[in-house]
A and B are shown apart, each in its own frame.
Chain A
């Protein structure tokens, strides 16, 4: 076992919820007065969980203990709000823990965002120096790396142009390049590999692999993309509600995460209903109900890959002046990416010429054919927008992850996998037509 370079002991982080206002000052003074007399902070959760007094406080990290060895690439996974980013923030000293400690050997550099501290009026070169210095490099170190950084970002021609003239792609590439050449002993990375275009993403992931495997640095890596976690990390921890609930081999931890997630995904049991006051939406339209149903019309949240099903929405039109169009997106739990997007066919005529929908309650159904989605957990994003504006500029309703369901593969011979017995990965599963025929037999003569 290699030497431990990061040792996290009994780490807690408490956040206060709600708005800072007049009441805050009073509670600050109360907390200060209590601690000044050596008493417990009456506004803290730590020490007396569950007495109901500290309702506006939340524990983002709850008793974390973790040791990370030299040269290890550790993946940190968990649902949104599990505490992943908080852990990285404490480790990169952006914020302090509430209780507990972290001991570190070597220099830590954090890559929580690309292009931190870029000044748009300064040139690419000046920003490389500034960004390097913000991340703890001195001028000499940056000068030595300058050419490599510029080359990696692919901005040779623009290095003396102010970055405000850069395209957004160039901007993030430069930001990533500076951070990638920081040369720390420990690198803390939060979801930044999702920047740039596909070819740059690949380059970035390869660079990360070099950093960890080739140069033997310790890397802590947070991502929602299980594929990049799988390809980079050997060991992972799974956080849930501020606690470590699973750790070990990355494949096992990811599986644990997905099976937990599958329970979360189906937490609504295939049906959600709102009443008019709290329904998502605005005074134009509101989403009243959403259901996932199998072909018999029974509410269900688990479907076989070979089984057709449909998603049913009820929406209430409150203002009769707007053309309305529904968009639903199918999001894969595995990598948080959109698998499939579908517009309702209300917009099938000439664009922008639809008759506004009259006031009232409507029910729409979106039929998903058999053999389309692969096995896994799917979230639905639901949006209603008002044509002729583009969907992203006129959203009336935007409900991300409004409902979820699981697609399972029972290895039914009718499915696209046929009798293939092994893991197919997370892919769409349409049954495409295949023909294979013999066009030139070879006899056994030679």
Chain B
């Protein structure tokens, strides 16, 4: 077929398309859909609950209390001189954004099968909207964290926020591409092999313990340090604590490596997602 012929057609449906083919323009055309998905997920989260949006703060606070008791009071893990409650709260707030995005994205195909089976829109709108909805949740939890930060600072605890707090949007963005990138890879597989849906729950749990959430990176013995650092989330948590609490033990090279790895995950996720979205309807 000559190229003159293709020019006339607005849409060309064929079996396979390129490895890396996301039409940015198309995603932009569907921006209203993405925003409506965000609104839907945010509004319907607490419909028909008594405590409503309070649930956004109950979860991290409760987790933090449990961590403070178990890892702080019982196991007595040092927290780099930061009040244990604040230390665990910082980790929990960051981790809950990541785990929420990862978990939601990994179920993209299975939870949206009904809509995907009836109408076309760029499927990547769903992971994007998940990451955006989670930002609102993060902001609510983050403001709780800020409140406690001021409280401890006022009470004279040894907390030294640095100028790097302005990099917060970048830290969140870093987490977003990592979690939806990895989530999209998983979602492609869960579309076909449901086993992974069951594995996801404890995988995220395990991942949390491989990330310095309940312990500082400085406490990791030197021989395991590399192992913990391969995990891109380590750098995210450490840079967040570095910026807001003034404690971290991560080098710029290690941070760059984490960013690089996240970008790889993101691109890989899009490639796999793209290949699956076209035919996944035949397998569910």
Contacts and interface: CB of A to CB of B under 8 A. Distances in A.
A104 B11 contact: yes
A94 B120 contact: yes
A316 interface: no
B116 A94 contact: yes
A-B complex: 9 closest residue pairs judged by Cβ atoms: A93-B120, A133-B33, A96-B278, A104-B11, A102-B13, A103-B9, A116-B118, A95-B281, A101-B14
Given A110-B120, A122-B43, A136-B30, A130 B36 contact: yes
**Most chain B beta-carbon contacts within 10 A, residue among A101, A106, A112:** A101
Given A16-B282, A91-B13, A117-B119, A105 B8 contact: yes
B222 interface: no
Interface of A: 7, 15-16, 20, 24-25, 89-108, 110, 112-113, 116-117, 119, 121-122, 126, 129-130, 133-139
A121 B47 contact: yes
Interface residues of B, number: 38
Nearest to B39: A126
A192 to B, nearest CB: 11
A107 B30 CA distance: 14
22 contacts: A89-B281, A93-B13, A94-B119, A94-B281, A95-B281, A98-B15, A100-B14, A103-B6, A103-B12, A105-B11, A108-B11, A110-B119, A113-B118, A116-B114, A117-B118, A121-B48, A133-B33, A133-B36, A134-B33, A134-B121, A138-B29, A138-B32
Given A102-B11, A119-B44, 6 more contacts: A94-B281, A96-B279, A103-B9, A113-B118, A122-B44, A130-B37
A231 to B, nearest CB: 25
Nearest to B10: A105
Nearest to A25: B193
Contacts of B31: 138
Contacts of A130: 33, 36-37, 40
A108 B31 CA distance: 18
A112 B283 contact: no
A92 B282 contact: no
Contacts of A135: 119, 121
A330 to B, nearest CB: 32
A112 B118 contact: yes
A102 B11 CA distance: 8
Nearest to A162: B47
Contact of A92 (B43, B120, B278): B120
A138 to B, nearest CB: 5
Contact of A94 (B8, B12, B117): B117
Contacts of B4: none
**Most chain A beta-carbon contacts within 10 A, residue among B9, B29, B37, B118:** B118
Contacts of B44: 119, 121-122
Nearest to B47: A121
Contact of A134 (B119, B193, B282): B119
Contacts of B120: 92-94, 110
A435 B218 CA distance: 104
B115 interface: yes
Interface string B9-35: 111111110000000000001111100
Nearest to B194: A20
B11 A103 contact: yes
Contact of A96 (B13, B36, B119, B192): B13
Nearest to A113: B118
Contacts of A129: 32, 36
B45 to A, nearest CB: 10
A112 B115 CA distance: 10
Contacts of B115: 116-117, 134
Contact of B278 (A95, A100, A108): A95
B193 to A, nearest CB: 7
Contacts of B39: 126
B74 to A, nearest CB: 41
Contacts of A126: 39-40
A391 B120 CA distance: 39
Contacts of B193: 20, 25
A96 B11 contact: no
B47 A112 contact: no
B118 A94 contact: yes
Interface string B110-141: 00001111111100000000000000000000
A418 to B, nearest CB: 49
A105 B10 CA distance: 5
Contacts of B10: 104-107
Contacts of B114: 116
A97 B40 contact: no
Interface in B219-264: none
A105 B13 CA distance: 11
Contacts of A105: 8-11
**Most chain A beta-carbon contacts within 10 A, residue among B14, B16, B47:** B14
A92 B36 contact: no
A208 B40 CA distance: 30
Nearest to A103: B9
B121 A136 contact: yes
A98 B30 CA distance: 27
Nearest to B120: A93
Contact of B13 (A97, A106, A119): A97
Nearest to A89: B281
A104 B14 CA distance: 11
A139 B44 CA distance: 20
